Amino acid sequence: MSSKNQQFITFKLSDRLLAMPLNKDSQFFSCEHLLALPINNKYIAGVSYLNGQLVTILRTDKFFGLNWKMPSHPQCLLFSYQGDFYGLAVDQGIDTVTVPQVYLEKTKNIFNKYIKINKQKVFILEAEQIFTELKIYV
């Protein structure tokens, strides 16, 4: 699809290696205090504070229909979108990678872009697709 080098931050969730485009706010943090919200949205775990910022913690496992037990203090990948901060709950932060190409998995409707790391497909979570799935900002 693309021939320009792109940077991604990779992480593990359950037994999957996943990636998100690297942005200026990308960092992993331990979510020490998670406040559950009284809403019925399977994708939102709750909110937390990080350096004085309110961060909405998202259930990354629910995007893929995984049977994953979220720890009480999950590690999260911070990212910003339209001026708000979000954290993807993950098992483990891995590394940043630069790749020359992004591919398209035509059999998938959502999260259908991937990169290759050591010949392994690593699917990409993009903010636009996350919020389309959440039905926020649409």
Note the pLDDT tens digit of each residue in 7-29. 999 999 998 999 999 999 899 99
Question: Going by DSSP bridges, is the β-strand pair 16-21/120-124 parallel, antiparallel, or unpaired?
Answer: parallel
Condensed to tens digits (0 to 9), the pLDDT of residues 80-110 reads 988 899 999 999 999 999 999 999 999 988 8
Which pLDDT belongs to residue 65?
86
Q: Map residue 61 onto helix, strand or coil.
A: helix
How far is Cα 24 from Cα 20, in angstroms, rounded to an integer? 12
pLDDT higher than threshold 90 for residue 114: yes
Complete domains list, the chain, with CATH: 6-134 (2.40.50.180)
